[in-house]
Amino acid sequence: MPRSTLQAWRTYQENLDAHPAVVAFFHSVPGLAFLHRLILALHVVFVEVGACGIRLVCLLLQLTGLDRFVGASYGTQQQVNRRVEEAIVAYRHEESTCLAREMPAKDITLTQDETFTGGLSLVGIEPVSNYIVLEQAAQARDHDTWHTLMAQALAGLNGRVIQSTSDEAPGLLAYVAQHLGARHSPDLFHVQQELSQAVAAPLAIKQRTAAKVVAKAEERLTRVHEPLDHAANTPAKRAPGRPPKVASLEQVEQDMEAARHEHHRLVEQREQVTQSIRGMGHAYHFVDLEREVRWNGKLIAGDMQRHIDTLRTIAQQEHLSETYLERIAKAERVVPQMQATIAFVSGYVRQQVRHLDLARPCLTPCMPISFPRITFGTTAAERFFGQKPRSMFAAILDSVAIPPAPLSPPRRAVG
């Protein structure tokens, strides 16, 4: 061994100001293993989960005196973080491939959408497990792009997509119809959003305006009362010239009553609108959640149509513009597809129950219906693939090394 190496080691030991027992621990095999786990845990928790930044990792190493045993500069820790992120990406790919090989056969429902945070991304999530099947940056959102990215994401999975839920984006509709070959189910949220923007939003503006009118009427009534009260307590004195023109108390009170009545009417209208929009969500089930009985598809569609008719009547009574009425019509055009979705889900459930080969007496009208529920304490991947994946942190530990101690450790801890 070169003499210079031995001299460097000796100098390093002499420059350490830590307690000898601490130095001995971090130079031991268990101590190095603990330091390795700690540094990588800091990057996972501080940078990847907490988004605190690499500089706080460096600061913690300095404040704890661990910068004597591991490189703590920003550049050094930045390299560690880059390797951690590379290990996370590799883990996702490798573990998904491994789990897919042992995955039990299953029917898959996808919820799909486009997001624009930091650029266009196409996203597909399996809602029962909450597992992200696809999250990929894209240059376009046409049906061919969706097909290319989803084909890669679904490759190797032991399952078939039977249903896709999304908004009415043309690219998504074309992808589901032409490539996926699954049932497209309208997204309730976007239907309710259209109705809310068409009726609830303009009514809210009207209600706020009416509230301001009430406030001004109250202020005016107060101004009229003040001179009358003063006159009642002061002997009358005729001032020269014409008397000032004062609004009659009766007229001001009538204006006040009219303003309050209009505001109250708008409050009731908004409450009716809210109930109708919520009613759309309550109706979009093939089971009555309160009575736990199945609903007929035609009755569901009729219930939805009644809510939309109520909203249209209110919009017409409030003389809302054609733009708002068109938004109601846009939501209304989706109702037949929502009815078809209920029929599809009802038929699918009936088929699954038939495969269970349950005895007839067990199937009573009062029998509660069990829906899939997320099991707490499990990961999305475990719920989706039906098996427990290996630890991501263990995979990071296996593939990422930490930097060596600095050649010239600081002599005093940072205060």
3-class DSSP state of 22: helix
pLDDT digits (tens, 9 = 90+) for 152-189: 999 989 989 999 999 999 999 999 999 998 999 999 99
Whether 106 contacts 158, CB under 8 Å:
yes
Maximum distance among all alpha carbons in the chain? 118
CA–CA separation, 267 and 246 (whole Å) = 32
CB within 8 Å of 352: residues ≥ 6 apart: none
pLDDT at 405: 82
- Whether 375 has a pLDDT exceeding 80, the answer reads no
- Residue extents of the structural domains in the chain: 3-97+393-399, 104-186, 189-229+250-351
Q: Considering the chain, what is the average pLDDT of its residues?
A: 85
Whether 164 contacts 112, CB under 8 Å:
yes
Whether 345 contacts 352, CB under 8 Å:
no
Q: How far apart are the first and last CA of the chain?
A: 38
Q: What CATH number should be reported for the domain whose range is 104-186? A: 3.30.420.10
- Whether 365 has a pLDDT exceeding 50, the answer reads no
Give phi and psi for 132, each to the nearest 5: -85, 105
- Whether 132 has a pLDDT exceeding 90, the answer reads yes
According to DSSP, the residues that pair with 294 across neighbouring strands are: 287
pLDDT at 8: 58
In the predicted model, what is the mean pLDDT of residues 73-96?
95
pLDDT digits (tens, 9 = 90+) for 220-264: 888 887 665 555 555 555 556 555 555 578 888 898 899 999 999
